[in-house]
Amino acid sequence: MPLIDLKPGDIVTGLEPDEHVEIRRIITFGNKTLIEGIGIKSHREIRRPLSEDEIAGLIKVGGADYTYDGDPESFLLGVEAQRIKIAYQFDPLFAVNSSVVDILPHQVEAVYRYLLPLPRIRFLLADDTGSGKTIMTGLLIKELLFRGVISKVLAHMGN
């Protein structure tokens, strides 16, 4: 990175191990450049004379050129997508809680107590008429999709 790209107020990585540094002052002398800054976490003053090669190894991660002027709706959608993607890790009944169908206790028990814990989910779901086989199947498929275990489903609804 050429020195011209660095200016006071920029935040760089590579100057101090395991810490970002906010540059306060840049002084050139001879074939070296003195970089003075403050550690973001430690609040320590840091002074390093660096060669052009060492300055090229710095990575600018923040500063006056970086703004928070992004689209807030896109950001919210991205955050919500990440929340949904990992929600099953924190909510064991995520598919139930994200459904608009009123699920009965025996359906939840069948899916979460008997079907999901199986090492290989290969079974025939059969029950009395009106017991909610379609709801149980939908709940199971939704849960497996949320967990990323399946990507496609082939279903046969027959008599």
The winner for highest mean pLDDT among 6-10, 41-45, 121-125 is: 41-45
Segment 21-48, tens digit of pLDDT: 999 999 988 888 999 999 988 999 999 8
Chain-wide mean pLDDT for the chain? 83
Q: Please determine, for residue 2, whether its predicted confidence score (pLDDT) is greater than 60.
A: no
**CATH 2.30.30.30 in the chain, residues?**
3-62
What pLDDT is stored for residue 77 in this prediction? 93
Checking if the pLDDT of 9 tops 90, the result is no
3-state secondary structure the chain: CCHHHCCCCCEEEEEECCEEEEEEEEEEECCEEEEEEEECCCCCEEEEEECHHHHHCCEEEECCCCCCCCCHHHHHHHHHHHHHHHHHHCCCCHHHHCCCCCCCHHHHHHHHHHHCCCCCCCCCCCCCCCCCHHHHHHHHHHHHHHHCCCCCCCCCCCC
Residue 96: pLDDT band (50, 70, 90) is: confident
Q: Are strands 32-39 and 19-29 parallel, antiparallel or unpaired?
A: antiparallel
Our measurement of the distance from residue 78's CA atom to the centroid of its chain's CA atoms, rounded to an integer in Å, reads: 9
What CATH architecture applies to the domain 3-62?
A: Roll (2.30)
Q: Is the pLDDT of residue 155 over 80?
A: no
For residue range 58-68, list pLDDT tens digits in order. 888 887 666 66
Q: Has this prediction a pTM greater than 0.75? A: no
